[in-house]
Amino acid sequence: MDTPQLALLALLIGVILGGSVALVVTAAYRARDQALVHASNDVPEGARDVLAGLDDPAVIVDPSGTVVAASIPADAYGLVEGVTLPSEELALLARAARAGTASAPVMMRLPRHRSEVRAVSVRVSAITSRLVLMVLRDVTEQERVEQMRRDFVANTSHELKTPVGAVGLLAEAVDSAADDPEQVRAFAARLQAEAARLGTLTTRIMSLSRLQSEEPAAMRDVSVDELVVSAVEAHATQADLAGVELRRGGERGVLVHGDPQELGEAVGNLVANAIAYSPRGSHVGIGVKSEDGVVEISVADQGIGIAETDQERVFERFYRADQARSRRTGGTGLGLAIVKHAVQRHGGEVRLWSRPGQGSTFTIRLPVAVPRPAEPGGKRRKSKTKPKTEKSKKRPARKDTAV
């Protein structure tokens, strides 16, 4: 082998050895850097930017349980940089994640704004050997909706069981009294009443389900006069039998934008409730007032009133402040829930004023609709509502029907 070849071979061996040494040194430096990162409490690059973009509370904590970085929503739970985890449950989850234990989301309750306790789902994962990422998701509303769903199913089953059982027993009674026409007629009348009660309950459950669904309403400009007159006419017989006078007053010609069926049912339920809980010889007033772009439809009675402890719950499904009276009047406990959801569906609210022994006033507040411009030819849409008498005559008989 001549001299040039030996030189080239030596050069090649030198390059290979040099490259190998360089690779070894580079790998050593990288291993050292990684070890420093894992042994450090410094937040990895970009982690703070990720936290800043999160809508959920999230924090990074070190082995001592101190928060070293936090998202903005975490402040509501007292999780800010420099503080120690306020809950022992959170500290245990952080230690388990740092030890390599896989963790599914854990449900717990934590105070928010130092007072309100919220249900949260906590997911924890290790991002280095020393730092742990904790993400909290508020599931209070989901938990409340699920509880409402369970209560609704349980209450519906209970409410349906009573008329269904009564129908079965009355059917047997009719069969056993086949030879006694008077008894058959009496049982048949009761059977018809229970069937009507079952039908009313089923209809109201379907109405409430529709109001809580995302199905769009048939919206149009609706005359408030039309809603009030329809409610008065629909419940005039009930008022006459109960010996209660219906009085109408307030402004005329106000329009709202909404579904006339849903809004009419809401006003009608308030009128029916007011009649059912009013004593004989009293009156129920239905008034309309428009101010600052809001129309108020108020239904006031002189009835038994509602205790302050019950006023927040009367709009709940199947809740009855007076259980005995509701059973006697045939109420379903869904009327006010329907009112609440129907009004909220139209961007409004329902307010209640009541004092035991002095009566109650329910007020529906809805945005006023802007009148439509004149149609071609100079004509405007005319309201189909005709003037009605302000009062309905009283009659001596009485039969309460609560909603």
pLDDT-above-90 percentage for the chain: 17
pLDDT for res 296? 93
pLDDT-above-70 percentage for the chain: 76
Residues 124 and 96 sit within 8 Å (Cβ to Cβ): yes
Higher pLDDT, 156 or 285: 285
Q: Is the pTM of this model over 0.75?
A: no
Spatial separation of the C-alpha atoms in residues 346 and 205, rounded to whole Å: 19
pLDDT at 297 over 90: yes
316 — pLDDT class (breaks 50, 70, 90): confident
What average pLDDT score do residues 279-286 get? Answer: 92
Q: What is the CATH number of the domain that holds 57?
A: 3.30.450.20
Helices assigned H by DSSP within 68-134? 88-98
* Single residue among 114, 138, 162 that ends a domain in this structure: 138
pLDDT at 317 over 50: yes
Spatial separation of the C-alpha atoms in residues 124 and 96, rounded to whole Å: 9
Spatial separation of the C-alpha atoms in residues 184 and 280, rounded to whole Å: 33
Spatial separation of the C-alpha atoms in residues 83 and 136, rounded to whole Å: 17
Do residue 163 and residue 292 come from a single domain?
A: no
Do residue 208 and residue 224 come from a single domain?
A: no
Do residue 71 and residue 99 come from a single domain?
A: yes
Mean confidence (pLDDT) of the chain: 78
pLDDT at 380 over 60: no
Do residue 109 and residue 157 come from a single domain?
A: no
Spatial separation of the C-alpha atoms in residues 1 and 12, rounded to whole Å: 15
Higher pLDDT, 118 or 16: 118
Do residue 111 and residue 154 come from a single domain?
A: no
pLDDT at 50 over 50: yes
pLDDT for res 245? 92
87 — pLDDT class (breaks 50, 70, 90): confident
386 — pLDDT class (breaks 50, 70, 90): very low
Q: What is the CATH number of the domain that holds 183?
A: 1.10.287.130
pLDDT for res 271? 92
pLDDT for res 383? 42
Do residue 99 and residue 235 come from a single domain?
A: no
State the greatest distance between any 2 C-alpha atoms of the chain, in Å, as a whole number: 135
pLDDT for res 363? 93
